[in-house]
Structure 1
Amino acid sequence: MTIKAGDTIPAATLKTMGAEGPVDITTDEIFKGKKVLLFAVPGAFTPGCSKAHLPGYVVNADKIKAAGVDTIACMAVNDAFVMDAWGKAQNAEELLMLGDGNGDFTAALGLELDGTGFGLGKRSQRFAMLVEDGTITHLNVEPGPGIDVSSAETMMALL
């Protein structure tokens, strides 16, 4: 079942890159006591994600944070090494780049995408959510290809 506004973020452990390699980061560490804008992409370095989705958040990071968001997090069903390299390639220093390598958190959210027909395996749907102290206040899932309801500009209008 897909998570919805009003639901609590499920407990999970993701990966981010630390000074000496990948480190665990729990959903409590990410969301507890904070206002977080989390967006997810089907895959790092993929065309739509690299040319449109992530850049919108990078360009608008200061405005988003000025509107009261503590953390802007980008997640994909990729490992922490890939997410770190993609973040560096995209100048995404202001964003928390999260790897959901096995897709466990994505599955717990009910937002999986079956990309096996394209050789991608199980991935995340493209979505964005606002979360306040662990509770989802807004969830926008893209209904198909393209970046509209999960764009930085759309999410900024909700702040």
Structure 2
Amino acid sequence: MKAGVKLPDVTFHTRVRDETIEGPNPFRWEDKTTADYFSDKRVVLFSLPGAFTPTCSTYQLPGFENGFADFAAQGIDAIYCMSVNDSFVMNKWAEAQKLENVGVIPDGSGEFTRKMGMLVSKDNLGFGNRSWRYAAVVNNGVVEAWFEEPGLTDNHGEDPYGVSSPETVLNFLTDASKESAA
């Protein structure tokens, strides 16, 4: 659906660890752009409704984290998880999940998600605006393959999960690799 689309240029407001800062919160603000995350590399980007939510924390994020070596073997340089959450929340979630392989991108205002056409209202759950669940293979800032859960709509009564799973994305990459080798 979105294959061939260039990712929107957005600035993400992140908090990064800085060892020169003492005390219980050794982080500083650092703005990062779409180019910082996606230029000159092939990555998997997956986006989900919210940090610390059940499906995201139990299946999707751990699947990408634990499968990183398999993705790297298919030519993936990085895996990023995005959510319409601020940097504080995303960093705490990454810490709670003990992430070593997946980077988190905070889309606190939902600007990137809106420009991708994936911002939905989740007022029915008290979430406000959030991302619809999707994954993408992105090559140098351009969508190579797109995996969107069915039913994109505001206040959807369910949280579909499967199309954007790590297994589905890895199967695509494996099949594409076999086809190019043939």
Taking structure 1 as the reference length, what is the TM-score of the superposition?
0.93
Runs of 4+ displaced beyond 3 Å: none
Q: Give the secondary-structure state (helix, strand or coil) at the position aligned to 2:66.
A: helix
Matched residues, number = 157
- Residue 112 of structure 1 is matched in structure 2 by 119
1:7 and 2:2 matched = no
CA distance in 2, matches of 1:90, 1:147: 19
Counterpart in 2 of 1:148? 162
By how many angstroms is 1:22 displaced? 3.7
Where does 1:1-159 land on structure 2 (aligned, <5 Å)? 4-19=2-17, 20-144=27-151, 145-159=159-173
Q: Could you tell me which amino acid in structure 1 is paired with residue 140 of structure 2?
A: D
- CA separation in 1, counterparts of 2:96 and 2:72? 22
Q: Deviations over 1:27-66 (max 9, x none)?
A: 0111111101000010000111111111111110121122
Displacement of 1:21? 3.0
SS in 2 for 1:93: coil
Deviation of 1:130 after TM superposition, in Å, equals: 0.5
SS at structure 2 position matched to 1:153: helix
Report percent identity of matched pairs: 41
CA separation of 1:15 and 1:57: change in aligned 2, threshold 3 A: farther
Q: Unaligned 5+ residue runs, structure 1? A: none
Q: Which amino acid aligns with 1:129?
A: A
Q: CA deviation at 1:17?
A: 3.2
Choose 31-40 or 17-26, whichever is displaced more: 17-26
Q: Residue type of the partner of 1:146?
A: P
**Pairwise CA RMSD:** 1.3
Question: Structure 1 pair 122/23, CA: closer, same or farther in 2 (3 Å)?
Answer: same
Which one has a bigger Cα radius of gyration? 2
